[in-house]
Amino acid sequence: MDPEQIVQQSAIKIVLGPQMRAQTTVNRFLTPEQVPRVRYVLWNIYQINNLFNTYYTALQNAVNNVQSMITSLTTTVDLIKRPSVTFFDILSALTMGLVFLGVPAIFDTIPTMVVKEIVPIAQGFVLGLTQTPGTFRALWPQGDVMSQTFQIGQLNENLDFINNQSSAMLNDALATIMNNAGTFISFAGYGRYSGATKVSIPDDTDDISFALKNYLTSISLKENGWYAYVGRNISLLGSGCLPVQDTNFFECPSMFLWMSPQNYRQYSFFQRGNGKSNARKLFQQLLSLGYVEMPTLVEGAYNCTAKAGGPLINVDFENGSIDTSCISQMPIYVSKGTCPPDAVKMPDGSCPFGSITDTYKSSTPPTFMRNWGGSQGVQYTSDS
């Protein structure tokens, strides 16, 4: 019996207790040459099982933490309208929490957020999923019930269902790996689970819930009229804009602005129907509470809009990549008649970004959004 048959027939049946017990079991029907190889396989089996078990425990704790976040979010954003969500989106953002932390666009831009020991685990998980489409599909919510909606304030009432569904999804994904030798080899390839250190996620790893928190925060901002405007970069020197200490925020005479440290794109924040909204207070509170990080909130929303939207998590199996930009649903607007050059046009030829004129329901943008000085950095071309 070769090692692939051992994995396929014995992965679920063997009780992975003390290592010597497992070795004694397999030694009865293996040749001396096969024993080291099968021990290697069994250690990978144990590691992957341990990963999924600890992931489930961490997810349960994450859901409970998010529930306590809802009350605070309601106060911080001053939710006049509580957004509705679907089970599909909640479970997508939840069960893909580890994936979110393993995507380079996330951990490269937010090094202070992620617990360092989680990053290599998350990276290995992402690589495994991109190599095994069946495992990814098992982690994706399925069934008609997933389209049902509820308000975010009702999350607590649906915790049992969410926990049961996430458990079932993780079990299905693990079974997909363990019941097929080819899938197992692809998921565990390149020694990702063969190291001496156990692959496990701490129970209290709050970072696992970051994708869900970012999603809930972004839709709460969206439903309550908040949006980001991105236009031609202004020259900050002599503009009256003052940097906010130790951040990429700037307090300007008539706007609150954040500048991306990656591409220097500038975003200003406004709330429809509220010309005196205190954007600085709001976003600093959201950041201090750990609900969002600006790159995932606004850069993610920009990238999602530029590609004309898509699922919260999108996997390109051909190229082995995962796109998580649409976790953020915050609206991004540009000036009417302009469209970023990296935007994918809609089927009718229109720009996927909303225009600031449409937002204000008027024929011209507000005065403070016209004739911004300077044109360095991001350039836009006319849509006409």
CB-facing half-sphere around the CA of 301: CA atoms within 13 A: 29
Give the pLDDT score at 238: 67
Alpha carbons 373 and 365: distance in angstroms, whole number: 16
Structure tokens at 93: 């953002």
For strands 266-271 and 255-259, give the pairing.
Answer: antiparallel
For strands 381-382 and 338-339, give the pairing.
Answer: antiparallel
- Cα dihedral sign for 334, 288, 90, 173? positive
CA distances from 312 to 53, 141, 256, 286, 338 (A): 24, 12, 28, 21, 26
pLDDT tens digits for the chain (384 residues)? 444 444 444 443 433 333 444 444 555 556 677 677 777 888 898 899 999 999 988 888 888 778 778 878 877 876 667 778 888 888 988 888 888 888 876 666 665 555 667 888 888 898 898 899 899 888 888 888 888 888 887 887 888 888 889 989 999 999 999 888 889 989 998 888 988 888 888 877 777 888 899 999 999 998 888 889 987 676 776 678 888 888 889 988 878 889 988 888 999 998 887 765 688 889 988 988 888 889 899 999 999 999 888 888 888 887 778 888 899 999 998 887 888 888 988 888 888 888 876 544 433 333 333 333 222 222 223 333
Structure tokens at 18: 């003390």
Buried b / exposed e over 333-352, threshold 16 CB at 10 Å, is bbbbebbbeebeeeeeeebb
pTM score of the predicted model: 0.82
Alpha carbons 80 and 92: distance in angstroms, whole number: 26
Cα-flanking dihedrals φ and ψ of residue 184, to 5°? -60, -50
Alpha carbons 184 and 198: distance in angstroms, whole number: 18
List Cβ neighbours of 55 (8 Å cut-off, separation of 6 or more).
98, 170, 201, 208
Alpha carbons 353 and 342: distance in angstroms, whole number: 11
Q: Is the distance from CB of 255 to CB of 268 less than 8 angstroms? A: yes
Reference 100, options 87, 113, 82, 86; nearest CA is: 113
Give the pLDDT score at 118: 82
Give the pLDDT score at 10: 47
Q: Is the distance from CB of 60 to CB of 170 less than 8 angstroms? A: no
